[in-house]
Amino acid sequence: MRASTFRRLMNLWPPFLFNSIRVQSLSEDYSQATIVLRLRPWNRNYVKSQFGGNLFAMVDPFWMLLAMHRLGPDYYVWDQAAAIDFVAPGREDVYAQFQLDDTTLDELRAAAAKGEKVLRWFENEITTASGEVIARVRKQVYVRLKPRAR
């Protein structure tokens, strides 16, 4: 699927649409993505900052999705584990950047070449437009070469 079509579909996905989460950009090769969470009255918490569940939701699927699209149909790719550290209250729109480079893909392919499961941690930050860190997120992605491709 073309990345531009995938981006539009993600923006219509109810968990994103109803929580003001948008895929702002997605490169055609699925190597980079920028996600924004707009602060709205319906997605603020009790103290009027970004709701923690939405902060996590905005970054939840992207390491897996980028890896899945870049590795191709010969690999199983799943989320395995996650952690989020809330650093500061998000009192404005917040952003997350993802970049999955060729070196990392080569490492994943090499580690999974004989059919072993590979567990890889990815990290990124959620920031304001000015760069203030709101949260740090770690996601562990499971990768395994499918039996038919071994």
Quote the pLDDT of residue 21. 98
For residues 19 and 43, the answer to whether their CB atoms sit within 8 Å is yes
**Mean pLDDT of the chain, nearest integer:** 97
Residue 141 CB coordination number (10 Å): 23
Quote the pLDDT of residue 56. 97
Quote the pLDDT of residue 150. 84
- Which of 99, 90, 98 is closest to 128 using CA atoms? 90
Quote the pLDDT of residue 116. 95
Q: Which fold has domain 3-149?
A: Thiol Ester Dehydrase; Chain A (3.10.129)
97-112 burial code (b ≥16 CB/10 A, e <16):
bbebeeebbeebbebb
Sign of CA dihedral 65, 68, 71, 77: positive
In the chain, which stretches have pLDDT less than 70? none
CA distance 51 to 54: 5
